[in-house]
Structure 1
């Protein structure tokens, strides 16, 4: 009997302990829910969605970015309102389109740091705020307790940083250094009594795609298939595409892009680099390297470049073969820089987990816009076509976002600010043009969400000669109006023509759709307070 009573007592004691542990766990979860979340916002520069394996899966592998998606949500229809670096960044932190935040283009514009921004609102509501890496808005960062950013674009090797006003040079590879600074701030500089918002902004994979020395041979032996319309036939599009200067052959430089310190000038198809490109690569980019870095770099590139020059000089390599070779070098370098980004996303995620910060931290990975990876024979961005209009966006928040969530609704970069404010419990100002998409993540139907998006690009005349244009996209159709020195309309049926090769604006069978999409355009411009007349006013008054 005593033995039985002892067993019963043990069972009751064990049950009590389990209940207590369960209650503690429940209390912990409730406490986490009551706490305002930390925010880690990781952004790269020019990262095409199809160069992320959770979006495409065939080009390269990005297991750490995929980890954010699998532990949280992936957004399959994420778009930007102006596909160029500075304006996109300004839009993200203001929740407003370019014509409202005043930063329309990378040149001639400077961001007005006195205006309302995401970091300012979070800081005013008790958040400890910091940014490391790329700022690229032409003015000093405001709204941050701590900032340590590249001057302008930054450099891949041994870059300069402006550390709260003081310029210092750090030895190492930029992507690794940005993560080092982020972890150092989390470890030593943040206020542990406050929730935090940390922007981790990478230079990569921005042009000119200089891999870490440890990644130089990562894709050796791998040949990437040529993408659609690689030869750039724009006969069914219009002048805007035909006149753009962003071809892998005609625009990429021998030095800055292809990594040659000298080039085969005797080749009949050779086009000399511009003065900036010819000096920038050998004098600045290679000049920043340590002797050890330079030795590894030269050992890899110079021997391969010698083979290319010999093939061109002897006539063994045709023009078409050389153009395809250029594409392979571009892809090898571009994707190798992304591998470093993904490694460092993993480092940051591991740090959060190891230090007990992951449970109550929102982690976002995105890019300032998409990028061309040889589609239409192009690199770069700017156009409203899908490759650069789309941008990756994955986000996790344990306990609040169900792992494996997939969101197909249209989101835009004007929505990032109100979404993060909403999760932080901070009121969203009435003048914000975006909308919080936290409602799309709680598995409840949202009937009044947007079914179209608006776009406006201003930076012409300018680099790559992409004409000014605005337009709208819904689930099936895209309408674009090019203006300035041309006045052309384009309409694409994305269901029948997903690669946007045939403009059907003048097709008699689509005139009803043209009328419908012009009404969608009118409604978007009315909602966001933009117009052709306002665009022409910017132009006539030289305000981009």
Structure 2
């Protein structure tokens, strides 16, 4: 009798466990996919966040700091092309620039491209795009993949914008600030969404694109602070070049030397429209306004119980130079141009305060968001989902190098076509179509990229290997040609400004 009672107890326990496991399975089965918010900024360089304690210690970005504290900081994030439209197209398609062919800021996107929100729509997501699109400079019409659309033409304006809202023009006056306006549209849409469906919001800010304009309340917030000039700020000055070249310590491309006195150089920046110091202050104040708006999104998620089930991503579309190598702007393959800030938060998967050291690129955003929605990565995408690595999992086959490309623009002809490959330690940059020197850097010993080792006998085998790998990459991804676009815009350099 006791034996029978014992068996009955054991059987009851097994039945209870089976019942509970069945409940868990049912919960997992009916649990809704997570919501996703992707916030993209413009020209935000990777180290201009206050938690990084960088060369601008007075800069305050408490809300970006909060995302890093509550999620993960992807320490080595890069774009495949450091230019607005090509980078944005790579984010939306998961493809390299030579594959999606959006190589400049003016030509419209080809009709054959598929954007990852289209897959989300098919999976039952409601989707919204709010902000800067900038593929097709004069076109702000709604694009495929989005149920709700708020955008503007080209770069837009910081104050009193006119927006295209689902195909209708809506003007905003009374000193309306673009960052605040876009934020409000985004949060209003989340408020009005169908609560029975998961949502995807692509919030694409104009900030911090030049010409930098902060919210009025932040004007002059940082003016007067001490500016720490980069070590390479004066590297291309004639007197420095003469000394360095006589010692055979440096091989600097001619296009870099010449650009110091051009639209994108520190001694003639934007044709003398501002001083370098005001340029830095205005940028940081505009970034502060952007950070404040991000805080409003975070607070909204908290207040409405959405934080736990919303995967939040913050990223810059490309980096930005502030005097390194005598340059401003982006486009080139130096670190401050091709590296970007990337923060991710999702309490269910990502450990708070963690760091992700692996090399990530903008082509990884689309596959990552699709995996969150349970969608298999389409074959045309070159990127990979970062979900395993941001969870701290070991991924043995994760990339050990990244590739970069930029194509010469008629509007800004002072920067040549280039291809680059970067490993954890080395970087090779090859310039196409110009009579100039290529560049090779040991980033471990020379993080500021001052000492060009392209003629180093010791590194010749590695340079040859990496050169071959650039061509292997291009051949394997159908990139052995330069996509050409119709160009009807004026030159932007100082020698030929105003000519077509």
Q: TM-score, normalised by structure 1?
A: 0.78
Shift of residue 181, structure 1, vs aligned partner: 0.8
Per the alignment, in what secondary structure is the counterpart of residue 410 of structure 1?
strand
Corresponding position: 1:198 with 2:191: no
CA distance in 1, matches of 2:230, 2:26: 48
Contact 2:73/2:343, CA 8 A, preserved across alignment: yes
Matches within 5 A, 1:158-177: 158-171=160-173, 172-177=176-181
The answer (yes or no) to whether the contact 2:55–2:228 under 8 Å persists in 1 is: no
Match of residue 133 from structure 1: 131
Residues of 2 paired with 1:83 and 1:515: CA distance?
25
Query: Does the alignment pair 1:469 with 2:469?
Result: no
Give the direction of change, closer, same or farther, for the CA distance of 1:336–1:496 in structure 2 (3 Å limit).
same
Q: Partners of 2:163 and 2:209 in 1: how far apart?
A: 17
How many Å apart are 1:435 and its aligned residue? 0.8
What's 1:346 paired with?
A: 295
Change (3 A) 1:503 1:62: same
CA contact (8 A) 1:113 1:142 kept: no
Supply the distance in 2 between the matched residues of 1:33 and 1:337 (Cα, whole angstroms): 43
CA shift, 1:46, in A, is 0.1
The answer to whether the 8 Å contact 1:78/1:393 transfers is yes
Cα-to-partner distance string for 1:220-255 (whole Å, 9 max, x where unaligned): 331212122212427421123123331132133454
1:248 equivalent in structure 2 = 266
Q: Secondary structure at the match of 2:311?
A: strand
- Give the whole-Å Cα distance in 1 for the aligned partners of 2:366 and 2:305: 26
Alpha-carbon distance, 1:170 to partner: 1.3
SS in 2 for 1:465: coil
Deviation at 1:452, TM superposition (A): 0.6
| 2:94 equivalent in structure 1 | 95
CA drift at 1:58: 4.8
Which of 430, 435, 443 aligns to 2:384? It is: 435
Q: Deviations over 1:371-416 (max 9, x none)?
A: 0122223221000110011011000111111111211111111111
Task: Report the CA distance between 1:82 and its aligned residue.
Answer: 0.7
TM-superposed CA distance for 1:528, in Å, is: 2.6
1:371–1:464 distance in 2 versus 1, CA, 3 Å: farther
- Runs of 4+ aligned residues of structure 1 deviating over 6 Å after TM superposition are 26-29, 540-544
Contact 2:232 2:324 in 1 (8 A): yes
Distance of 1:57 and 1:242 partners within structure 2:
26
Contact 2:356 2:392 in 1 (8 A): no
Q: Which range moves more in the overlay, 521-530 or 117-126?
A: 521-530
CA distance in 1, matches of 2:115, 2:477: 18
CA contact (8 A) 2:431 2:437 kept: yes
Q: Which has the higher helix share?
A: 1
Q: Report the Cα offset of residue 28 of structure 1.
A: 13
2:39 to 39, 42, 52: 42
Unaligned runs of 5+ in 1: 1-22, 259-325
Distance 1:173 1:239, change over 3 A: same
* CA shift for structure 1 position 104: 1.2
* Alignment of 1:55 onto 2:52: yes
Alignment check: 8 A CA contact 2:128 2:147 kept: yes
Corresponding residue for 1:18?
Answer: none
**CA displacement at 1:31 relative to structure 2:** 5.8
> Number of residues paired by the alignment?
445
Tell me whether 168-177 or 344-353 shows the greater mean CA deviation: 168-177
SS at match of 1:471: strand
Per the alignment, do residues 253 and 31 of structure 1 end up closer, same or farther by CA in structure 2, a change over 3 Å counting? farther
Gaps of at least 5 residues in structure 2 are: 1-19, 242-250, 490-500
Matched, 1:513 2:448: no
Aligned-residue CA RMSD (Å) = 2.4
Contact 2:256 2:325 (C-alpha < 8 Å) held by counterparts: no
- 1:194 to partner: Cα distance: 1.1
**Paired position in structure 2 for 1:83:** 82
Residue of structure 1 in register with 2:14 after alignment: none
Aligned to 1:290: none
Tell me, yes or no, if the aligned pair for 1:32 and 1:360 is still in contact at 8 Å: no
* Counterpart position of 1:460: 409
CA–CA distance in structure 2, aligned partners of residues 120 and 248 of structure 1: 42
Query: Is the 1:49–1:55 Cα contact (8 Å) retained in structure 2?
Result: no
Please state whether the residue corresponding to 2:475 is helix, strand or coil: helix
- Structure 1 CA distance for aligned equivalents of residues 97 and 170 of structure 2: 32
Partner of 1:480: 429
SS in 1 for 2:431: strand
Alpha-carbon offset, residue 32 of structure 1? 10
How far 1:63 sits from its partner (Å)? 1.1
Distance 1:32 1:353, change over 3 A: farther
CA–CA distance in structure 1, aligned partners of residues 351 and 119 of structure 2: 27
> Map of 1:373-412 to 2, 5 A cutoff?
373-412=322-361
Partner of 2:285: 336
Counterpart in the other structure of 1:180: 184
Residue 223 of structure 1, aligned match among 211, 223, 226: 226
Match of 2:451 in 1: 502
SS in 1 for 2:50: coil
Normalising to structure 2: TM-score of the pair? 0.84
Equivalent position SS for 2:149? strand
